[in-house]
């Protein structure tokens, strides 16, 4: 018994060993996290100057705060509905997408915010608002030029992008990115004229009904490949002729009935006219 205790005491750790161990473990975990964690988490506050943030805040207060709250904390609940969601942590990418596609500021409440061709802000103003929102809490950053550069995408990568699109996106946006209906008047918009930057931002921020595809779900390279497939129409030719909207058999049926049967009945009438 005594011998056992002595042996134990001989191997007893220094009282501070636990503290040192915990400190080391924390350092390791923190270091690993910093190294491995999605880039988004540490994004976007650095580049913006304090002036930009200040200008962005002014624009925010003038144009967005009515619904999103004076501190972007979200609007008040009116008749069971939140006027506007909290923008803390949505990142500059959200601002760039929502304002840059004209969806925000929202003209009126409807099933979902429609894309509007008239953009109310300059890109500089949008960037300033983005900087302000990003300064509140980390969030997805506006994609860099390398992330949007599709020139280096090989055919195999493009095919992989197309395959990922079919698995994750086509169920709402249709096989050709032409969009489709969702429930209760909501819809997945047509992607054919959407810019590479906005497609990328939509994937990382998940606007409206769309899920978020962060960099763990779809890697930045795959996102670039998807964009390459979507935006390079010349790389996915349609050798069959007119695509009649690329919406599947519904338009084909309409063509068969109107053009096919219509012309043929016309011909029958023409052939049958002579005697009667």
Partner 1 sequence: MSTIDKVAGGVGNFADDTVGASKVVNGFARKIFPDHWSFMLGEITLYSFVILLFTGTFLTFFYEPSAAETTYVGNYAPLAGQHVSEAYASSLRLSFDVRGGLIMRQVHHWAALVFVAATIVHMARVFFTGAFRKPREINWVIGAILAILAVFEGFTGYSLPDDLLSGTGIRIAQAIILAVPVVGSYISFFLFGGEFPGQDFIPRFFTIHILLLPAIMLALIVVHLMLVVVHKHTQYPGPGRTEDNVVGFPLFPVYMAKAGGFFFIVFGVIALIAGLVSINPIWAYGAYDPSPVTAGSQPDWYMGWLDGAVRLMPGWFEFNLLGFTFSMNIFIPTTVVILFTMGVLCLYPWIEQAATGDRREHHLLDRPRNQPTRTGLGVMALTFYVLLWISGGNDIIAHMMGLSINDITRFLRVAVFVLPALAFVITKRICLGLQRKDREKALHGRETGRIVRLPHGEFIEVHAPLTEVERWTLVQHDSFRPMEIEDRLDAGNPSSLYGKVQRRLSKFYFEDRVEPVTPAELAASHHDHHGEVEGGHHDAVDAGNNPAIGTSQTLHG
134: Cα within 13 Å, side-chain hemisphere? 30
The single residue among 176, 196, 202, 226 that binds partner 1, judged by CB under 8 A, is: 176
Which listed residue (171, 193, 195, 212) binds partner 1 by CB under 8 A? Answer: 171
Residue 252 near partner 1 by CB under 8 A: yes
Pseudo-torsion of CA 92, 93, 95, 96, nearest 10°? Answer: 110
Residue 93 CB, shortest distance to partner 1, in Å, is 25
Residue 203 CB, nearest approach to partner 1 (Å): 17
Binding mask 217-236 for partner 1 (x = CB under 8 A): ------------x-----xx
- Nearest residue to 150 (alpha-carbon basis) of 229, 261, 262, 66: 229
Instruction: Build a one-symbol-per-residue string for 106-125: x at contacts with partner 1 by CB under 8 A, - elsewhere.
Output: -----x--------------
Q: Of residues 8, 10, 16, 271, which one binds partner 1 by CB under 8 A?
A: 271
Q: Which of 94, 174, 194, 205 binds partner 1 (CB under 8 A)?
A: 174
The Cα 73–Cα 273 span in angstroms is 75
Q: Cα separations (Å) of 181 from 139, 170, 247, 248, 256?
A: 29, 12, 12, 14, 24
Q: Is 80 in the site for partner 1 (CB under 8 A)?
A: no
The interface region with partner 1, picked from 52-60, 73-81, 177-185, 214-222 by CB under 8 A, is: 177-185
Which position among 179, 210, 217, 220 is part of the footprint of partner 1 (CB under 8 A)? Answer: 179
Residue 147 burial (CB count, 10 A): 18
Name which of 60 and 165 has its Cβ closer to partner 1: 165
- Our measurement of the distance from residue 251's CA atom to the centroid of its chain's CA atoms, rounded to an integer in Å, reads 29
Compute CA distances 240 → 191, 231, 233, 236, 244, whole Å.
21, 20, 15, 12, 11
Contact 99, 129 (CB under 8 A): yes
Q: Is the Cβ of residue 50 or residue 269 nearer to partner 1 in the bound state? A: 269
The least CB distance from residue 273 to partner 1, in Å, is: 7
Strand partners, 81: 78
209 binds partner 1 (CB under 8 A): no
Residue 210 interacts with partner 1 (CB under 8 A): yes or no: no
User: Tokens representing 186?
Assistant: 């909501």
Tell me how far apart the alpha carbons of residues 78 and 199 are, in angstroms, rounded to a whole number.
Answer: 32
Query: For binding to partner 1 (CB under 8 A), which residues are involved?
Result: 111, 155-156, 158-159, 162-163, 166-168, 170-176, 178-185, 187-188, 229, 235-236, 238-244, 246-250, 252-253, 255-257, 259-261, 263-265, 267-276
């Amino acid at each position: 018994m005594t011998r056992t205790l002595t042996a134990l005491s001989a191997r007893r750790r220094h009282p501070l060993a636990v503290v040192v161990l915990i400190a080391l473990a924390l350092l390791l975990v923190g270091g690993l996290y910093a190294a491995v964690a999605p880039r988004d988490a540490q994004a976007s506050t650095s580049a913006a100057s304090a002036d930009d943030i200040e200008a962005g805040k002014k624009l925010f207060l003038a144009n967005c705060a009515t619904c999103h709250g004076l501190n972007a904390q979200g609007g008040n609940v009116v008749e069971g509905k939140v006027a506007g969601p909290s923008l803390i942590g949505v990142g500059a990418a959200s601002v760039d997408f929502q304002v840059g596609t004209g969806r925000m500021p929202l003209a009126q409440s409807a099933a979902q915010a429609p894309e509007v061709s008239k953009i109310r802000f300059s890109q500089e103003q949008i960037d300033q608002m983005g900087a302000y929102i990003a300064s509140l809490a980390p969030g997805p950053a506006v994609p860099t030029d390398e992330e949007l550069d599709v020139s280096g995408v090989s055919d195999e990568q493009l095919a992989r992008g197309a395959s990922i699109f079919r698995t994750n996106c086509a169920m709402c946006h249709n096989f050709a990115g032409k969009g489709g209906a969702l429930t209760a008047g909501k819809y997945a918009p047509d992607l054919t004229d959407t810019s590479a930057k906005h497609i990328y931002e939509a994937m990382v921020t998940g606007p409206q009904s769309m899920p978020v595809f962060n960099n763990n779900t779809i890697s930045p390279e795959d996102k670039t490949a998807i964009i390459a497939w979507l935006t390079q129409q010349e790389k996915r030719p349609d050798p069959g002729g007119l695509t009649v909207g690329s919406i599947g058999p519904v338009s084909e049926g309409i063509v068969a009935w109107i053009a096919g049967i219509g012309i043929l009945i016309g011909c029958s009438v023409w052939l049958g006219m002579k005697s009667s």
